[in-house]
Amino acid sequence: AKDFGIEEALQQLGVQNTNKGTSTGNHHFGSGEEIISSSPVDGQEIARVTTTTAADYEKAVNAAQGAFKDWRMMPAPLRGEIVRQFGEELRRLKEPLGKLVSYEMGKSYQEGLGEVQEMIDICDFAVGLSRQLHGLTMHSERPGHRMYEQYHPLGIVGIISAFNFPVAVWAWNTALAWVCGDVCIWKPSEKTPLCGIACQNIIAKVLKDNDLPEGISCLVNGDYKVGEMMTTDKRVPLISATGSTRMGKIVASKVGERLGKSLLELGGNNAIIVTPDADIKMTVIGAVFGAVGTAGQRCTSTRRLIIHESMYDKVKNAVVDAYKQLKIGNPLDEKNHVGPLIDKDAVKGYQNALTKVVEEGGKIIVEGGVLEGVGYESGCYVKPAIAEAENSFEIVQHETFAPVLYLLKYSGDVGNALELQNGVNQGLSSAIMTNNLREAERFLSVAGSDCGIANVNIGTSGAEIGGAFGGEKDTGGGRESGSDAWKVYMRRQTNTINYTTELPLAQGIKFDL
């Protein structure tokens, strides 16, 4: 990893250990046990991070509550100015942060840079938004009355993020929450704690330069137990959680029990429908990037290709050929397409999927397997695999966070493909490849895709930040990022003002004294 400038990147981000065994990170609440962050790229320990104890958590909440008192009074466009400066710092540190993401999480350096770009994009979006955050005005039924609505900040927003987008998902949430006037407590995945420390160092500097309290952005570290401190805490009115459906159900019930709000962005089981009118070249690029990009560890990764029988062999052969070109190896080396999975548990999940699909009657057409030998010492590198399967297979219904792609066949019209596509519990992303207007419109219609994201002639992954991001059913129903997703970070207040000397009651009720 030294050859790829990792040491220098870690130094620039302030996350290197002076010697192994010491903990890193001054700007987070952690005095507990250490988490060892080791890279799936080479299996080496990168650094250690201390976890958050119950006492540390109290300190974080106190710091956040204190900071909220000032932060909420600051005009939103001035809060936007802080987010603008944060975006500038991200531009300055794009390369080292992209490198850390790649090294700690395992995605390709290009995708690491892309992730930091998503952070920069959401900062720009939030800066503009900071001069908006607008409600509606309504007409009162009473004379001399004015009615409107306004949005106020909620207070503390708890952010629980996953390893696969270790920095961008935090930014989607926090940049919006900050301009809205909220303060945040972030628990990054315990698999990527250094990305958390690096981000915290960046915002801590911006806040310090502006003489603002660091409690505006608090970092806590640890496993689900630390998450639970937040989900059960009434002082945290909104929990935004990204991760598995299993995790989301636990979070939703804990937060629901205390009538808090949760914003959930959970698993997907995303398909591309390949119609008789599809452009094969575009289909192959979209499908292969969707299936093997981030080693199949995006919630928007393509899991299923639903191919019309008339095109089936053609598409299958083209995709199989494309898989032969894939280079698997160190993701920092830009000649490789596919990096490692996050850890050995993920490798087991991948192997299990390949065993199960065969047990259920599927046929492997691109062999998988775990890579060994020079360059693969971490034990986390796997071969992207393809299996022909049926939608009803249990394993096809399940989201496996790995590069396993299932080919499904449909016949007849696009309605049959839609039935397969919607015939899973998850509802995040979907796509159709077609040049036929009727098929495209049907896919987008009320009887079409049931997902939160539905694309035409684009793959399932790689959404832009300007749209609302999230999905239905087991995906959890939350929307983050663009459009009016900011509203969930605020509380709405309806205001009616009477500027007359009379007090008429609504609904014409008479009440004379």
Does 278 contact ligand UN1 by CB under 6 A? no
Does 192 contact ligand UN1 by CB under 6 A? no
Contact with ligand UN1 (CB under 6 A): which of 176, 206, 274, 463?
463
The whole-angstrom separation of Cα 490 and Cα 132 is 13
Q: How far is the CB of 308 from ligand UN1 (least distance, A)?
A: 25
Q: How far is the CB of 91 from ligand UN1 (least distance, A)?
A: 19
Question: Per-residue string for binding with ligand UN1, 230-269, x by CB under 6 A?
Answer: ------------x---------------------------
Specify the residue, 248 or 462, whose C-beta has the smaller distance to ligand UN1.
Answer: 462
Whether 40 and 343 have beta carbons less than 8 Å apart is answered as yes
C-alpha distances in Å from residue 145, one per residue of 140, 491, 508: 6, 23, 14
Q: How far is the CB of 367 from ligand UN1 (least distance, A)?
A: 26
Q: How far is the CB of 453 from ligand UN1 (least distance, A)?
A: 8
Give the residue at shortest CB distance from ligand UN1.
Answer: 463
Q: Which two tokens stand for residue 1?
A: 């990893």
The number of residues that bind ligand UN1 (CB under 6 A) is: 11
Does 165 contact ligand UN1 by CB under 6 A? yes
Specify the residue, 63 or 299, whose C-beta has the smaller distance to ligand UN1.
Answer: 299
Describe the crossing of helices 414-422 and 437-444 by its angle, rounded to 10 degrees.
30
Does 300 contact ligand UN1 by CB under 6 A? yes
Does 299 contact ligand UN1 by CB under 6 A? yes
Is 309 assigned a catalytic role? no
Checking 395-399 for CB contacts under 8 A at 24+ apart, the result is 395/353, 395/356, 395/357, 395/360, 395/362, 396/303, 396/304, 396/357, 396/424, 397/269, 397/424, 397/425, 398/269, 398/353, 399/244, 399/245, 399/267, 399/268, 399/269, 399/303, 399/426
DSSP state of 470: -
Per CB under 6 A, the segment of 46-54, 391-399, 408-416, 455-463 that binds ligand UN1 is 455-463
Which DSSP helix (H) or strand (E) runs through 23?
none
Which DSSP helix (H) or strand (E) runs through 372?
none
Closest CA to 15 of 172, 181, 199: 199
Describe the crossing of helices 94-105 and 76-92 by its angle, rounded to 10 degrees.
70
Closest CA to 303 of 177, 201, 411, 429: 429
Site for ligand UN1 in 117-146 (CB under 6 A): 118
Q: How far is the CB of 111 from ligand UN1 (least distance, A)?
A: 9
Q: How far is the CB of 162 from ligand UN1 (least distance, A)?
A: 6
Q: How far is the CB of 464 from ligand UN1 (least distance, A)?
A: 7
| Residue of 115, 265, 399, 439 with catalytic role | 265
Map residue 49 onto helix, strand or coil. Answer: strand
Specify the residue, 238 or 463, whose C-beta has the smaller distance to ligand UN1.
Answer: 463
Question: Per-residue string for binding with ligand UN1, 63-102, x by CB under 6 A?
Answer: ----------------------------------------
17: Cβ contacts below 8 Å, ≥ 6 apart: 23, 24, 46, 47, 48
Contact with ligand UN1 (CB under 6 A): which of 298, 316, 356, 479?
298
Binding site for ligand UN1 (CB under 6 A): 118, 164-165, 169, 242, 298-300, 461-463
Which positions are annotated as active-site residues? 265
